[in-house]
Amino acid sequence: MAEQKDDPGQAARLSQSKRAAQASGAAEPFSVQNGTAQDRTAQDRQDRVAGDDGPGSRTGTADKNSATVVRRKQRYLIGFRSLPGIASPPSDPFLDRLAQMDGVEITRRLKGGGLQSAGMTPTGAMPTAAAQEIIVARMDEQRGEALRQNAPPHVIVEIDAPLGYSDMAVPEPVNWQHSVQVMPFPGPRRDIRFRILGDGDRPLSNAVVNLYGPGFPAQALTDSSGQASLQTHSLDGSGVHAVYVRPAADHWERYIRNPSLEIGQVNVIRLSPVDRTSASFPGERPYGWGQRIMKFDRVSTDWNGAGTKIGIIDSGCDTSHPLLRHIVRGVDFTRDGDSQSWKSDEMGQGTHCAGIVAASAVASSGIIGCAPGAEVHVFKVVPGGHFSDLIDALDQCIERRLDVVQIGVCSEQFSELVAQKITEARFNGIACIAGAGNTGGAVQFPGNVPGVMTVSAVGKLGEYPQDTRHAQRALPQLIAFSGIYATNFSCWGPQVGVCAPGVAVVSSVPGGGYAAWDGSAMAASHVVGFSALLLSHHPMLQSINFGARADQRVSILYDFLRAAAIPYAQVDPNRVGAGLPDLQHVPGLMPSNQQFYGSGIGAGAVLGAMQAPFTQPAAYLGNPMNAILQLRAAGLWL
């Protein structure tokens, strides 16, 4: 048999062609279409960072349950910019080439956003063609970055980042002072045992116990006997800085600084029950402290938000809760649009916000929602959701013709495609309301998107026990005489429109119980319920001229929210916006304001009376809408 020899010229040509293909893929990835088998093999080798599963590998495939750790591919969103006055082409060759690229896996196709909706476009803009679809693709980061840099100006390529939610369960970050103790040298570890008891010394299960000391914070969950065991490097317990216990429901949390702990014994911590009843007289509705300060208790019980459709984009909603059984509409976008799994809420935030917004008025329930008669739609996007799921959820809000949507998720990254979809929702008459975030820094996405009503959280002294984390939320220099204060966790910036109660807010949690939580999402829920009452009962928002589903209705709603806001805490507006909305100060809503509304003085006089040093010049006299427009022109109405 003849000996087969390698052709050096052929090998050189093959190597040269592969280098050229790789260089072309790095410089212009959208020009690479169909690669050879050798190219695909080379790409597979590049994706693998360690090991080899082939039969000739040293480790081999003996262990079928093992898997080599590799760098996972990144998810990307590819869409088009909505440019006013420029119509999008019916098809684009960029997407056609993208579908043929090696190493690019198209996983989903979404409906694109645009400024056009029901014939509405921004002032001075021409109607555009229907927006093209958004593609969700998976590829390695090197290829995705090259694709982004070489994309045409009208094409958006961005990471389909995971969505987060603002959980306040872990209050103590690892600070720099203890950074040297984060990874201690191997040494003895001691078990510290706890037992958590509730009302009547009843053991509390599923309570989260956090231990802060040397190294990372330790965390454990109590069992059915109320016991939990945590390990620490502290030899005698004196090195523990704090213990924080967060019960599952029906009890106040507990926060103990410099606790006295015994290593060899069970350390017992007792929690106080949450008193949900805030009614002063028999038959009075059980409003929470936040609802009372926003004057929900001063309006007629017939004002329940009936006829308004509200969307809650969050972690789902446990509809088995006695106060949430009337919520029957929802979608789970973390499970391909499942129509049932949205009723499971692993995080609890969606259930808590749903209770603030629309908990039904059940006898002896202890709490009631701000707008219990509203029609609520739940869209589950966390845990496990991405920007693409948020776009899908907003699309559903537009199709279902909702009125108000609370976006309860956040991200440290900005998405232009999500921002375009929010703009589309606004031009379809949907008011998007979001919390500012809970990191204490700059306002998080999507609260920093123009057109979103961003809400920061405030608290009030005396509405919680002093041995809780609620008592640690206040900024001491920003406490007003009324006891209302700006919080140290709420994000702040010029994007904040108003503030609302977000400390020790008692509402529903999964499993049928109630809990007091903190967060800007809780504050946003109050403003959502407030907005539902305005949309349902304010004569201007019900009128033919301003009640149509369009951007103008959203603008008027936002104007009323700011006009009704009272700046309790005389602090930087970047922290509290225009102030805390009060139903009794909405122009033209309450009977006490009819003298302004009916006499032709309107919103301008009410605003001038509320927010000194603004006065009531004669130029502001007229009907409410003219007053609002004149205030805007004068720069006094943001």
Specify the CATH number for the domain of residue 77: 3.30.70
Query: Which residue is it, tokens 């123009």?
Result: 450
Q: How confident is the model at residue 91 (pLDDT cuts 50, 70, 90)?
A: low
- 237 and 354 in a single domain? The answer is no
> What pLDDT sits at residue 46?
46
Boundary residue ending a domain (111, 135, 160) = 160
User: Which residues, other chains included, contact 332 with Cβ-Cβ below 8 Å and sequence gap of 6+?
Assistant: 316, 338, 339, 340, 341, 342, 380
User: Which residues, other chains included, contact 302 with Cβ-Cβ below 8 Å and sequence gap of 6+?
Assistant: none
Domain of residue 333, CATH code: 3.40.50.200
Q: Please give the residue range of the domain that contains residue 243.
A: 176-270
Residue 18 has pLDDT above 60, yes or no: no
For residue 637, give both structure tokens.
């109405």
For the chain, the maximum distance between any two Cα atoms, rounded to a whole number of angstroms, is 109
18 by Cβ neighbours in 10 Å (0-12 / 13-18 / 19+) ranks as middle
Residue 473 has pLDDT above 90, yes or no: yes
> What pLDDT sits at residue 366?
78
Report which of residues 582 and 180 the model is more confident about.
582
Residue 209 included in any domain? yes
Nearest to 459 by CA among 569, 374, 385, 364: 569
Residue 484 has pLDDT above 90, yes or no: yes
Q: How confident is the model at residue 530 (pLDDT cuts 50, 70, 90)?
A: very high
> What pLDDT sits at residue 610?
36
- 154 and 227 in a single domain? The answer is no
Residue 414 included in any domain? yes
Residue 569 included in any domain? yes
- 331 and 378 in a single domain? The answer is yes
Q: DSSP 3-state helix, strand, coil percentages of the chain (rounded to 5)?
A: 30, 20, 50
> What pLDDT sits at residue 363?
60
Residue 472 included in any domain? no
- 103 and 196 in a single domain? The answer is no
Phi, psi of 268 (to 5 degrees): -95, 130
Mean pLDDT in residue range 205-218: 86
Report which of residues 552 and 84 the model is more confident about.
552
- 198 and 149 in a single domain? The answer is no
Q: Is 241 left (phi over 0), alpha (psi -120 to 50) or beta?
A: alpha
Mean pLDDT in residue range 508-513: 95
Boundary residue ending a domain (105, 131, 160) = 160
- 248 and 382 in a single domain? The answer is no
- 229 and 377 in a single domain? The answer is no
Report which of residues 514 and 301 the model is more confident about.
514
Whole-angstrom CA distances from 247 to 28, 198, 427 are: 55, 9, 43
Mean pLDDT in residue range 88-97: 72
- 98 and 247 in a single domain? The answer is no
Integer Cα distance of 147 and 424 in angstroms:
26
Q: How confident is the model at residue 599 (pLDDT cuts 50, 70, 90)?
A: very low
> What pLDDT sits at residue 89?
62
Beta-sheet strands, E only, within 262-411: 266-270, 309-314, 329-332, 375-380, 404-407
Residue 444 has pLDDT above 60, yes or no: yes
> What pLDDT sits at residue 15?
46
- CA-angle at 157, arms to 156 and 163, nearest 5°: 105
For residue 235, give both structure tokens.
């030899």
Residue 2 has pLDDT above 60, yes or no: no
User: Which residues, other chains included, contact 569 with Cβ-Cβ below 8 Å and sequence gap of 6+?
Assistant: 458, 478, 479, 480, 484, 485, 486, 575, 576
For residue 249, give both structure tokens.
């429901």
Nearest to 320 by CA among 578, 161, 592, 512: 512
* Chain mean pLDDT for the chain: 79
Residue 611 included in any domain? no
Residue 605 included in any domain? no
Domain of residue 189, CATH code: 2.60.40.10
What three-state secondary structure class fits 219?
A: strand
> What pLDDT sits at residue 434?
98
Boundary residue ending a domain (129, 160, 191) = 160
Residue 293 included in any domain? no
Mean pLDDT in residue range 438-449: 95
Integer Cα distance of 446 and 114 in angstroms:
17
Integer Cα distance of 524 and 332 in angstroms:
22
Nearest to 379 by CA among 409, 352, 410: 409
Number of domains in the chain: 3
User: Which residues, other chains included, contact 482 with Cβ-Cβ below 8 Å and sequence gap of 6+?
Assistant: 460, 568
> What pLDDT sits at residue 545?
74
> What pLDDT sits at residue 181?
46
Q: Are 379 and 412 in contact (CB under 8 A)?
A: no
- 313 and 410 in a single domain? The answer is yes
Which of the listed ranges 167-176, 254-263, 392-401 does the model predict with the highest average pLDDT?
Answer: 392-401
Residue 627 has pLDDT above 80, yes or no: no
Integer Cα distance of 583 and 438 in angstroms:
26
Q: How confident is the model at residue 95 (pLDDT cuts 50, 70, 90)?
A: confident
Query: Which residue is it, tokens 């260089």?
Result: 23
- 353 and 423 in a single domain? The answer is yes
Q: How confident is the model at residue 21 (pLDDT cuts 50, 70, 90)?
A: very low
Integer Cα distance of 92 and 54 in angstroms:
41
Q: What is the 3-state secondary structure (H, E, C) of 128-195?
A: CCCCCCEEEEEECHHHHHHHHHCCCCCEEEEECCECECCCCCCCCCCCHHHHHHCCCCCCCCEEEEEE
- 130-160: per-residue pLDDT in tens? 457 899 999 999 999 999 998 988 899 999 9
Residue 87 included in any domain? yes
> What pLDDT sits at residue 284?
66
Whole-angstrom CA distances from 308 to 24, 48, 528, 529 are: 55, 53, 11, 10
pTM, two decimals, is: 0.81
User: Which residues, other chains included, contact 476 with Cβ-Cβ below 8 Å and sequence gap of 6+?
Assistant: none
- 154 and 186 in a single domain? The answer is no
Residue 119 has pLDDT above 50, yes or no: no
Integer Cα distance of 279 and 254 in angstroms:
25
Q: How confident is the model at residue 399 (pLDDT cuts 50, 70, 90)?
A: very high
- 201 and 145 in a single domain? The answer is no
The alpha-carbon radius of gyration of the chain (Å, integer) is 28
Residue 459 has pLDDT above 80, yes or no: yes
Give helix then strand counts, H and E, for the chain: 15, 24
Q: Is 482 left (phi over 0), alpha (psi -120 to 50) or beta?
A: alpha
Q: How confident is the model at residue 286 (pLDDT cuts 50, 70, 90)?
A: confident
Whole-angstrom CA distances from 368 to 295, 301, 311, 507 are: 14, 11, 18, 9
**233: part of which helix (H) or strand (E)?**
none
> What pLDDT sits at residue 37?
40
